[in-house]
Amino acid sequence: MTYRELINQVLIRLREDTIPTDWSGAINESSTVSAYHKVIGALINDSKRSVESYHDWLNLRETVSINTVVGTKNYNLNSGQEIKILDVINTDTGHHLKQVSKVYINTVKFPTDDDGQPFYYSFNGSDSSNNLKIDLSPVPSEVQTLSFDICKYQDNLSTAASVLKIPAQPVILGAWARAIAERGEDGGTQSSLAAIEAAESLKQSVILDSGNTQYESDWFVSENHAHGTVNFR
């Protein structure tokens, strides 16, 4: 669903006029989008970020690989800052690297593990392009490939045609609840109900994304089992 469509879905629920056509460029720089429509656009992005951080969505997953350099401890991930590392594997050996604190590497591992095969990593700030930097321990003694399985948040939606990567319904309902609360028209009653709807939608979306069903299905054998009948409960 596009950014304009998302905004319009919230506006419909608020019984407000929708945006009939795409605007040009970024929404905050557009002279054709009203101030209130821009507020709804901001609430869409607020809701998007909340939904993104709730679950490791399949559509947000990426793989970032780095090749180690002999004797080099620090590396750039070239992934941006707003990521979550799910797993790190040395594709040459099959070993999984464990995340530890920088203090742990500096005070416990680094003084004793001069070089070898990396088994640990820690975060160490970011570079000038806001890419995360990591330290490896032990310091690599040979060239190997490390594969980082990450969950990377989508940039804020800005142009009318920007397409949302995660499920739309919890984002729409979350923005709707925020918009009702921002208007302050009902003393919080309607916004609370909208928030409940948003939470239920988010739960259902997580279940679908995880490949599960909401309820475990119980198979049981009925009295007719002797006749080849199996019931589903």
pLDDT at site 9:
98
Q: What are phi and psi of 224, to 5 degrees?
A: -90, 10
pLDDT < 70 stretches in the chain:
81, 109-114, 185-189, 212-233
For residues 31 and 15, give the distance between their C-alpha atoms in angstroms, rounded to a whole number: 23
Q: What are phi and psi of 73, to 5 degrees?
A: -95, -35
Number of residues that make up the chain? 233
What is the chain's percent helix, strand, coil content, to nearest 5?
A: 40, 20, 40
pLDDT at site 111:
58
In this structure, are 46 and 123 located in the same domain? Answer: no
In this structure, are 96 and 30 located in the same domain? Answer: no
pLDDT at site 223:
41
pLDDT at site 130:
83
Total tally of structural domains belonging to the chain: 2
What interhelical angle do 3-13 and 35-54 show, nearest 10? 110
pLDDT at site 220:
39
In this structure, are 77 and 42 located in the same domain? Answer: no
For residues 233 and 230, give the distance between their C-alpha atoms in angstroms, rounded to a whole number: 10
pLDDT at site 222:
39
**27 with 38: CB under 8 angstroms?**
yes
Supply the DSSP string of 6-47, one letter for each residue.
Answer: HHHHHHHHTT-----SPPSS-GGG-SSS-HHHHHHHHHHHHH
Among 152, 182, 211, identify where a domain stops: 152
Show the domain range for 83: 58-152
DSSP state of 117: S
pLDDT at site 219:
39
pLDDT at site 191:
76
9 SS3 class: helix
Among 97, 128, 152, identify where a domain stops: 152
For residues 204 and 104, give the distance between their C-alpha atoms in angstroms, rounded to a whole number: 39
Token code pair at residue 33: 């989008």
In this structure, are 37 and 70 located in the same domain? Answer: no
**120 with 98: CB under 8 angstroms?**
yes
pLDDT at site 188:
59
